[in-house]
Amino acid sequence: MKRVDLQSYKVLTGKNLEAAVAAGASEIVLAEGAVLTPTARDVIRRAGLAIVANHNGASAPPVRESASPRAIAPAPPAPSPVLPRSTRSDEAILNSPEALVIKQEMIRVGKKLWDRQYVDGNGGNITYRITPDRVICTPTLLSKADLTLDDLCLVDLEGNQLAGKAKRTSEVYLHLEIYKTVPEARAAVHAHPPHATAYAISGRVPPRCVIPEQDVFVGSVAISPYETPGTREFAKTIVPYVKDHNTILLANHGLICWADTVTHAEWYVEVVDTYCRTLMLAAQLGNGITRIPPDKQAVLLEIKKRLGLPDANYGLKECQLCDQPETPGGITVCPTACPQNCPGGCNSKSGDLETLIKTITDEVMAALNANP
């Protein structure tokens, strides 16, 4: 057990923490109000470092996050209005001409998910909110490749089946939490795409500022903690994230995407799985990842705002746009999407980001000290 005193640092980067680890530290002492960069937090978690009370005998000092995006994100514009409440019977809603179009779209999307190997066995499910409190959903125990019009059913927002012959999916609660939390959400797709699920089982989310397609259509991906699939407790795990994220990784399970249409929700599954796959391929090259510059990232965010898509980064300053915050619940974020200990130095590019964060934070601290 070795304690290393880092109280002389006002801002600690990943390099500072790695030096402490190299010196054999198992515990670190931080100055009150010290700022940890995201990579520094990553090192602390990876190395299992304990933050202990400072020398004055006080409890562990409050440590500030650099660049937390959730605090100043305004609500994005709604992508589409929800249909007016219906006076028709539930059978009539499920068998209406507009429901027929939606059911045909769900069948097409189910086939696409299966063709792309995003759903296995009877896995995955698709829903569409056709009125404010009525949702069309796929059935349980059926491959998404084999859906027919008769298989689709209608439920209310509590999951009670109201119409349709086949029994509704047990995962419908997951979708319903989205509809109850996000008024503009009209469709949701849950699947098990292998590359995104690989991130989900490693407890990591892919970084931003790497490929424009991902940042515009998906952006920050959240990750929700594990719960038993099909339960109401499982469904509740995504609630904190759904307003600011249209894509959520489900720990040790898969993902769920919501959108204005079923087709768009399936697009997001494609975008994020291809993105995760590309990051894995890039990591194998062993040369780190080059980021899109923050000023160009701001342009992407503007495009996204015009499209009416949600994003946790609206309202952030340019210098914060490509930072990788820690997600609530203590799950780490990999700044470079590289595996640990990969040869060639995964953090070679992110070192620049660390320097930038440190410089900016130093300036902020100096301004605070000048104007207490």
Contacts to Zn ion by CB under 5 A: 254
Q: Which is nearer to Zn ion, 9 or 241 (CB)?
A: 241
Q: Annotate 85-109 with b (16+ C-beta within 10 A) or e (fewer).
A: eeeeebeebbbeeebeebbebbbeb
Q: Which is nearer to Zn ion, 159 or 254 (CB)?
A: 254
Could you give the CA distance from residue 271 to residue 175 in angstroms, rounded to a whole number?
A: 20
Q: Annotate 268-306 with b (16+ C-beta within 10 A) or e (fewer).
A: bbbbbbbbbebbbebbeeeebbebbebeebeebbeebee
Nearest approach, Cβ of 157 to Zn ion (angstroms)?
Answer: 20
At what angle are helices 38-47 and 350-370 packed, to 10 degrees?
A: 110
Nearest approach, Cβ of 139 to Zn ion (angstroms)?
Answer: 14
Q: Which is nearer to Zn ion, 234 or 314 (CB)?
A: 234
Nearest approach, Cβ of 181 to Zn ion (angstroms)?
Answer: 19
Q: Which is nearer to Zn ion, 21 or 265 (CB)?
A: 265
Could you give the CA distance from residue 352 to residue 45 in angstroms, rounded to a whole number?
A: 21
Q: Which is nearer to Zn ion, 69 or 254 (CB)?
A: 254
Nearest approach, Cβ of 106 to Zn ion (angstroms)?
Answer: 17
Which residues fall within 8 angstroms of residue 72, CB to CB, at 6 or more apart? 315, 316
Could you give the CA distance from residue 216 to residue 97 in angstroms, rounded to a whole number?
A: 33
Nearest approach, Cβ of 372 to Zn ion (angstroms)?
Answer: 52
Could you give the CA distance from residue 54 to residue 61 in angstroms, rounded to a whole number?
A: 7
Q: What is the bridge-based pairing of β-strands 187-191 and 134-137?
A: unpaired
Q: What is the bridge-based pairing of β-strands 64-65 and 27-30?
A: unpaired
Q: Which is nearer to Zn ion, 206 or 254 (CB)?
A: 254
Radius of gyration of the chain (CA): 23
Q: Which residue is nearest to Zn ion (CB)?
A: 254
Which residues fall within 8 angstroms of residue 306, CB to CB, at 6 or more apart? none
Nearest approach, Cβ of 229 to Zn ion (angstroms)?
Answer: 5
Q: Which is nearer to Zn ion, 86 or 122 (CB)?
A: 122
Nearest approach, Cβ of 230 to Zn ion (angstroms)?
Answer: 9
